Structure 1
Amino acid sequence: MGIAAGSVLAAAAAFAAQANFDGGNGGEGRYLVQLPPAAAPAKASGSAPAVAAPASLTTIVGGYSYDWTALQAAIDADTEVPNGYFIVGNATDPDYLFAYEKGSFGIDRVTPLASASKWFAGALGMRMAQAGIVTLEDPMRPPLAFWTTTGTKKDVKLKHTLSMTSGFNASPLVGGCQLLPAMTLYNCAKSIHDLRYDSLRPGNAPGAQYSYGPHGIQVAAAYLEAKDTSIQPGTSPARERNFHELFAQHVTTPLGMTSTTWYDPSGSAPTNPWVAGGAFSTPRDYAKLLRAFLGGSFITDMTTFTQQRTAGLPRVFVPAGAVNWEYALGSFVECDTPAACATSKINSSPGAYGWTGWIDRDTGYYALVATQIATGGDRKGVELEQVMQDLIEDAIANRTPVP
């Protein structure tokens, strides 16, 4: 109970810092993402770091020379991001196209991701679909046996819970059991099911509204855990894998992500991890995920994974930094206007502390702003990302072959 109570108090303070929502402006929120209960002090991973030297202004990778002078100058000029690690890569070259440490922020620094965790949830759902364990069209019942068989809530499917269209995100500021680590995912999903739907917005059908918040993704995690049919070997009695084991099986182990967990790795795995905002990772690990996304073999159906799922829907709560963007499965679809999201191939997942990773399947690169900023990081990370995108495109377009 002590752990749970501490998380609630810390979370209340975090939520209080975000409580400025403009109800008269289309439901657009002031803040981009929910803060985790508390930002743990960053620490190095257990393995000896192999931090690359700051990138030179020109790199030679894969037979091409890239000039990163303008990109590095823009990063250095941004005084609101004093410390960070910045990576640009592609799907074919094992070396980074660009890697730069600004200030003090090593490539193996373990960092809280906040809402950048959501892309992990989408990836796990897609990987389990590829394995034939789930489908995106799955209803919540029978794996979640408490699920109602009446009303619009009965029609919630896995695709809704991962795309902010489930009906459970009436407000990201409404408290929830996702902040109680000592619960179980199953019981947390039941609490959300019982309290966070029609009682807040009567008649809200799944797929009918776009509302950004943590509750649907928590339900998705409980469903994935309950749906798993693989048996953990060597246990007596045999049991199904828990959420952390599934994440390792389907995501981190295949990619060699050794410093990524859905909790502070210095502690123990909670039975009820905060799936929408509680993961930790390192720049090196997260870059492996982004590279895998771009490559197209880790997630074999990238169209399904990255396509917009909120176009034309009423926007109940939408982050101010993503007013024109749509939402996919755990990531935003970036575009200048909502109509442009239909053809956009840029997906991103920003976090409250500024951590922002994205892939650009048109230009053919992935990039990461890895940082930890206590206040306003969501705005700062996204603003720097937008500046970097044009400069990265220019550097790639103007690369020159090396004889």
Structure 2
Amino acid sequence: MKPVWRALGVAGGILGAAATGVAVSAVAHGARVSAQRRKAEDKYADEPLGALEPSRESTVAADDGLPLACEEVDPAEGGEPELTVVLVHGYTLDRRCWHFQRRDLAQLTGPRVRLVLYDQRSHGRSGAANSESSTIEQLGRDLDAVVRALVPNGPIVLVGHSMGGMTIMALAEQRPELFVERVRGVALIGTSAGDIGRSGLPRPVLSRHNPAARGLGVIAEWQPGLVEWARRAGGHITWSAIRALAFGDNKVSPSLVDLMELMIDGTSVKAITDFVRTLGTHSRYAALAGLRHCRVLVLSGDRDRLTPFSHAEAIAAHLPDAELVLVEGAGHMVMLEQADLVTGHLVELVRGCTSKNDGRGWWKRA
């Protein structure tokens, strides 16, 4: 009978690990408000979230051959763009998280901007990486590959959220000359330059010291299909978990939570666990020196439970000329939760990067 009980115990452990990992994987189809009530209360009920048509789609090969799914958006009014904005998404998300910024920045006429978005490896429509290449160092090289392929010339503004901001830091570490010659501006949104495991959630889900995340990783390596099934079986609690962990204190559109759930649901358990170690060991304060040649925006919500505002303050302390913005009441998904405010600051950044006025450096409470 021991093998039977052991098998039951392993199955129970998988279910427990998956349930404990809800804060990381937070997926499946949870409880919903009724369609009629949502229509009446949700201001984004008719918004085509994550479904905007790009001007072009393409695949860029990373330096190890892994395919990266990309898209470009030309200025809505036509004409030659004066600058390219590259949007880099975060952990367990994909390029759809930039819906509002993608929609509105393309409408700019002063200056006209072209947008480049892509899915990070093992996220969205990009190829699945192995554990060894699931590192922030490799993400920096991936961003370099996208820039070389799709933005071979002209000025650039890089915008990164969460792990996307870390990706930009890795690129600055690897190719500092790019930030001297072509990168005019950088926006770091809801991100960190290091010490992720020392603040935020109790026993942070992104910390390599979290036994639940480590255990889920081991199980995912052994039996990934069963873990995927288990996390979906517990989906009735995950919608509320996403709302609580990713957003702040303000009223949040259910459609935004749905969008985030879809993005997380598209990220495999293996990808989620593969990146835990690199997130936990990320430390790139020294790399921030490479951003001193750029205009820099550092923005974060004061209700961010994953990368608290103290991380933004620490980045700004290393970049005294940066604009530091605190968004009251907003959580980790600040660019969805406070879309107009975030886009407004990005417009200011872009305009500053095409202006001769070099005035920089102030602290703002949004």
Q: TM range, normalised to the smaller chain?
A: under 0.3
Give the TM-score of the pair, scaled to structure 2: 0.27
* Higher helix content, 1 or 2: 2
Give the TM-score of the pair, scaled to structure 1: 0.25
